Amino acid sequence: MCGIVGYIGKGNVAEILLDSLQRLEYRGYDSAGLAIINQKNELVVKKDVGRISNLRNEIFQDFQSHSCTIGIAHTRWATHGGVTKANSHPHCDCKNKIALAHNGIIENYRVLKELLIEKGHVFQSETDTEVLVHLIEEVYKEKKGNLQFAVVEALKLVEGTYGIAVVCTDEPYKIVGARNGSPLIVGIGEGEMFLASDVNAIMPYTKNVVYIEDREIIVIQAEKDDQLKTYDLNYERVSKSVSVIDWDVDAISKGKYETFMLKEIFEQPDSVSTALRGRVVLSEGSVKLGGLNMTEVQVRQINKIIITACGTSWHAGIIGKYLIERFAEIPVEIDYASEFRYRNPIIQEGNVVVVISQSGETADTLEALREAKRKGAKIIGITNVIGSTIARESDGGIYLHAGPEIGVASTKAFTNQVVSLALLAIYIARLKNMPLYEGEKLLKELISIPDKIAEVLNHAEAIKEIAVKYAKVSNFLYLGRGFNYPAALEGALKLKEISYVHAEGYPAAEMKHGPIALIDENMPVVFIAPKDQLYEKIVSNIREVHARNGKIIAVTNGDAANINEFIEDYILVPQTIEEFSPIINVVPLQLLAYYIAREKGLDVDKPRNLAKSVTVE
C-alpha cells in the first residue's frame, strides 16, 4: 500500500508534494511525512500521525521559500511497527544526509539490522524500511558521489518488495527510485520531474509518464540533458518510452458530491456505458474485444478458464464464472489470488487464466498471474489502469474504462468488471455455439443496464431512510441465490468495509446449515429476491427468517405483495434478465452501506485499516 511522491524542479516543493500526496492518500493514511533539501543544503524532515492535513500548517511555516527544489514524501499504511511519528516515513540515515520513502516489505530486515547495528548504526524506528536507508548509507561511505550506485548495491542485499524514493544532501540535484513488486512511475514536466506510486498523484502537473518495471533503478533530475536514466540491478542502462495519461483532473475531484464514494456510485450509469461503447456489435449479436490478443481459433480452443482475484474483484469473478459457464459452456474455476500460487494449480493446454484487479497492481493477483504464466497459461488481464503492471504482463486484456476510482471501497469498478466479464462470455459463446438471435437479445439487454442503474439511483433518498433505521445494529446477513449470491457477498463486504458492521453473505439455501442460529429480532437480513426462476425458493427462505423474528429488507424487481407480510422494508429495482441482475441489484446495497456509514459519522473514502491498492502480500 502506501503512497510515494518525489519532486524536483522550480515549483513550491512543499506545496506540490502535499498536493500530490493528498491524491495518493487512499493508498494509506495512518501517517504522513516529507523530506526536503533546503537552501542551506540541509535535510529537513517533517512527519505527523493521521491524515496529510495534519502536516500542512507546520510545513508551510518552515518552507515559505520557493527556492527549495527537491523533496520526497510518503503517506503510510502500517505494516511493520505501530502508527507513530518515529515509524512514519521518510526515514533518514545516521548523519541526516540521506532520506528514503518506501512502499513494500523488506523480508530479511532483521538480519540486516543486526549487521548494521554491529557497524555502529543507530535506529530510531521499529520499521523494516529504516534498515534500507542505513544500508544505503553504509554503501555510500565507500562510493561517495554516486547515490544510484549505493542504492543498487544495497538492493542486491535485500529480499522483499519495494518501491522507493531516495534523496541525499551530497547530491541535491537528483532523486533515485527503484521498484520490485510495488508500483512506481516517473512524470515528465516542463523543467520538472516527478516520481510517484501512481498517476493520480501527478495528473494536474503532467500527463507524460514512464512506467518503471521490477528490478529497475531510475535517476531523475530537472534541467539536465539526461533528465531520466534507468538501470537494471547490473547497472546496465535500460531504454524507456513515454506514455500519455488519458484521464483528466476533473475525474479525480469530488465535484458536487460530498465524498468520492458517493460520486463513484452515481457515476455507474456513465461508467457502464463507457465499458460497452465500441464493443457491442448488435448486427452480429457479438462483441468486439480487440485487446484480447487471441485469434478466433485460439478462443474456440479454450477448454477451461481459471479466474483469480481478491476482495470485490473476486466477487465479480464468481459472477463471471456463472456467466461464462452459462453462455459459453466452458468450465470455470474461481480462486482467491492470495491462495492460487500456494496450492500448485493445475494448468493444462487450452487453459486460460483471467486475472482481475481494479488497480492492476494488487500484489497477490500479480503473483498469481506470474505463477500461471510459468505454468504455460494464456493470461487475460481485466484492469482499470492502462500501463499498470498486470496490464503490461498479461498476454491480452480488457480495460474497464471506469475512470479513476478514488474511494477505497470499490463500486463502479465492480459493476464494470461484471459487465466486462459478460462481454467476454458472450464473445466466447458466439465463437462457439450461441446463435445470433440469442447474442443479440443478450446485448440489447446489456445496453439497457445503464438506464436501469440510473433508475435505482433516482430512489437513493428512500434507501437512505432505510439505512438510517438500521444504522445502530451490530450484525447483518445478506442472502441471495444463483447469480445474486455473489451480489450478497459484495453487499456484505461494502457494509464491513465502510460501516465497521459485522456482515456475512451466504447463498440463501445455506442459511439452514448454520447461520439461521444467529437470527433473532436484532438481526437484519437483506434478501436479494428478483422474480426469476429461484424466486419461490427465496420466498421460502424469507418465511423462515420471519418465523424467527428477523428483520427483513428485500431487494426485488416486482410486486412484493406476496412477501409484504414478512418484510420490514423493500427496495424496488428495475427488471432485467437473471444473468445481469447482480449489476443492478448491487447498487442499492452500495447505497445502503454508504448511508449507514454516513449516519454513523464515518469517513467512507478512507475506512480504517484499509487502503485502495494492496501492493504487499
User: How large is the average pLDDT for residues 540-561?
Assistant: 86
CATH of the domain at 125: 3.60.20.10
Active-site positions read 2, 612
pLDDT at residue 28, as a whole number: 66
Mark whether 434 and 559 lie in a shared domain.
Answer: no
Mark whether 129 and 64 lie in a shared domain.
Answer: yes
289 within some domain:
yes
Q: Give tens-digit pLDDT for 330-340.
A: 999 999 999 99
608 within some domain:
no
Least confident of 40-44, 85-89, 350-354: 85-89
Q: What letter does residue 358 receive in the DSSP assignment?
A: S
Mark whether 489 and 420 lie in a shared domain.
Answer: no
Specify the higher pLDDT residue, 287 or 39: 287
Give CA separation, 303 vs 27, 299, 332, 347, in Å. Answer: 38, 9, 9, 11
Q: Give tens-digit pLDDT for 164-173.
A: 999 999 999 9
Mark whether 69 and 206 lie in a shared domain.
Answer: yes
Residue 220 CA to residue 4 CA, distance in Å, equals 15
Residue 59 CA to residue 580 CA, distance in Å, equals 51
Specify the higher pLDDT residue, 303 or 77: 303
> SS3 for 263?
helix
pLDDT exceeds 90 at position 487: yes
Dig out the grid coordinates for 313 from the structure: 474483484
609 within some domain:
no
Dig out the grid coordinates for 380 from the structure: 487475460
Q: Which of 88, 95, 34 is nearest to 63 (CA)?
A: 34
Q: Give tens-digit pLDDT for 407-458.
A: 889 999 999 999 999 999 999 999 999 999 999 999 999 999 999 999 999 9
Residue 75 CA to residue 48 CA, distance in Å, equals 10
User: How large is the average pLDDT for residues 188-201?
Assistant: 89
pLDDT at residue 64, as a whole number: 53
Amino acid in position 377: A
410 within some domain:
yes
186 within some domain:
yes
pLDDT exceeds 80 at position 25: no
Mark whether 211 and 304 lie in a shared domain.
Answer: no
Domain boundary among 407, 426, 454: 454
Contact 99, 167 (CB under 8 A): yes
616 within some domain:
no
Q: Which residues contact 464 (CB under 8 A, 6 or more apart)?
A: 591, 595
Specify the higher pLDDT residue, 69 or 380: 380
Q: Pairing between strand 70-76 and 351-357? A: unpaired
Exposed (0-12), middle (13-18) or buried (19+): which is 396, by Cβ within 10 Å? Answer: middle
Residue 459 CA to residue 456 CA, distance in Å, equals 6
Q: 359 lies in which domain range? A: 257-454
Helix (H) or strand (E) holding 117: helix 109-118
Mark whether 565 and 542 lie in a shared domain.
Answer: yes
Amino acid in position 566: F
Q: Pairing between strand 569-572 and 551-556? A: parallel
Q: Which residues contact 540 (CB under 8 A, 6 or more apart)?
A: none
Q: Give tens-digit pLDDT for 557-611.
A: 877 667 778 888 989 999 999 999 999 999 999 999 999 999 999 999 888 877 6
User: How large is the average pLDDT for residues 121-126?
Assistant: 92
pLDDT exceeds 90 at position 121: yes
User: How large is the average pLDDT for residues 21-47?
Assistant: 84
Domain boundary among 246, 274, 295: 246
Q: How many domains does the chain have?
A: 3
pLDDT exceeds 60 at position 615: no
pLDDT exceeds 70 at position 60: no
pLDDT at residue 144, as a whole number: 67
Helix (H) or strand (E) holding 262: helix 260-266
Q: Is residue 533 very low, low, confident or very high in pLDDT (cuts 50, 70, 90)?
A: confident
479 within some domain:
yes
Q: Give tens-digit pLDDT for 199-241.
A: 888 888 998 999 999 999 999 987 666 789 999 998 899 998 8
| Three-state secondary structure of 528-546 | ECCCCCCHHHHHHHHHHHH
Mark whether 225 and 370 lie in a shared domain.
Answer: no
Which segments of 277-310 does DSSP mark as H helices, in order? 296-300
Specify the higher pLDDT residue, 105 or 331: 331
Least confident of 86-90, 322-326, 392-396, 482-486: 86-90
User: How large is the average pLDDT for residues 3-12?
Assistant: 91
Q: Which residues contact 115 (CB under 8 A, 6 or more apart)?
A: none
pLDDT at residue 153, as a whole number: 93
CATH of the domain at 574: 3.40.50.10490
pLDDT at residue 284, as a whole number: 95
Residue linked to cell 486460460: 352
Mark whether 137 and 72 lie in a shared domain.
Answer: yes
Specify the higher pLDDT residue, 517 or 418: 418
Mark whether 164 and 307 lie in a shared domain.
Answer: no
Q: Give tens-digit pLDDT for 172-187.
A: 999 999 999 888 999 9
pLDDT exceeds 60 at position 63: no
| Three-state secondary structure of 417-483 | HHHHHHHHHHHHHHHCCCCHHHHHHHHHHHHHHHHHHHHHHCCHHHHHHHHHHCCCCCEEEEEECHH
pLDDT at residue 95, as a whole number: 94
Dig out the grid coordinates for 540 from the structure: 421460502
Which phi and psi (to 5°) does residue 230 adopt? -125, 135
Q: Give tens-digit pLDDT for 237-283.
A: 999 889 888 766 666 778 899 999 999 999 999 999 999 999 999 99
Mark whether 273 and 225 lie in a shared domain.
Answer: no
Mark whether 337 and 445 lie in a shared domain.
Answer: yes
Domain boundary among 189, 212, 246: 246
Residue linked to cell 468450465: 331
Residue 449 CA to residue 438 CA, distance in Å, equals 17
Give CA separation, 91 vs 137, 142, 532, 593, in Å. Answer: 12, 21, 58, 38
Q: Is residue 464 very low, low, confident or very high in pLDDT (cuts 50, 70, 90)?
A: very high
Q: Which of 583, 607, 335, 336 is nearest to 494 (CA)?
A: 607
85 within some domain:
yes
Dig out the grid coordinates for 354 from the structure: 483471467
Mark whether 399 and 445 lie in a shared domain.
Answer: yes
pLDDT at residue 23, as a whole number: 79
